[in-house]
């Protein structure tokens, strides 16, 4: 079952621009994670934000969480061609330690 839904499905930008992806979910969560997947490869964990946190930063990444709106956003600042990948949100909820993945946003950064 999928809980997180990313928006937009696809995003195309120029190098140097910022990229913003959103994730909406339906039920209460304990945490929310963002992963990146380069074409034909496995997923790589980027950042985890807990339900009692509102914002986290990691390098050029900024993640926000709004539990009242059941949504999260991932901002990549000053994007690079190497950021071209699919980005997935994954929610952790209830007593389960298994995250539920969304369908992903495909980001293309043109050099």
Partner 1 sequence: DGGITQSPKYLFRKEGQNVTLSCEQNLNHDAMYWYRQDPGQGLRLIYYSQIVNDFQKGDIAEGYSVSREKKESFPLTVTSAQKNPTAFYLCASSMVGSTDTQYFGPGTRLTVL
Residues that bind partner 1 (CB under 8 A): 1-2, 30-31, 33, 40-45, 48, 88, 90, 92, 97-99, 101-104
Longest Cα pair distance anywhere in the chain, in angstroms? Answer: 44
Partners of 107 in beta bridges: 11, 85
Q: Taking the complex as a whole, how short is the minimal distance between the CB of residue 17 and partner 1, in angstroms?
A: 25
Nearer to partner 1, 47 or 77 (CB): 47
Distance of CA 50 to the CA centre of its chain: 14
Assess contact for 110 and 12: CB atoms under 8 A.
Answer: yes
CA nearest neighbour of 88 among 70, 107, 69: 107
Residue closer to partner 1 (CB basis): 20 or 30: 30
Minimum Å gap between C-beta 103 and partner 1 is 4
- The single-letter DSSP state of residue 82 is G
Residue number with CB closer to partner 1 (68 or 97):
97
Give the shortest CB-107-to-partner 1 separation in angstroms: 15
């Amino acid at each position: 079952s999928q809980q997180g839904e990313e928006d937009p499905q696809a995003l195309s930008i120029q190098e140097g621009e910022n990229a913003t992806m959103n994730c909406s979910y339906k039920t209460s969560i304990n945490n929310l994670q963002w992963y990146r997947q380069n074409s034909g490869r496995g997923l790589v964990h980027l950042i985890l934000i807990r339900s009692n946190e509102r914002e986290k930063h990691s390098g050029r990444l900024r993640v926000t969480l709004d539990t009242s709106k059941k949504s999260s956003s991932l901002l990549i600042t000053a994007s690079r061609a190497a950021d071209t990948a699919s980005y997935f949100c994954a929610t952790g909820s209830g007593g389960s330690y298994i995250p539920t993945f969304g369908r992903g946003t495909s980001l293309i950064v043109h050099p």
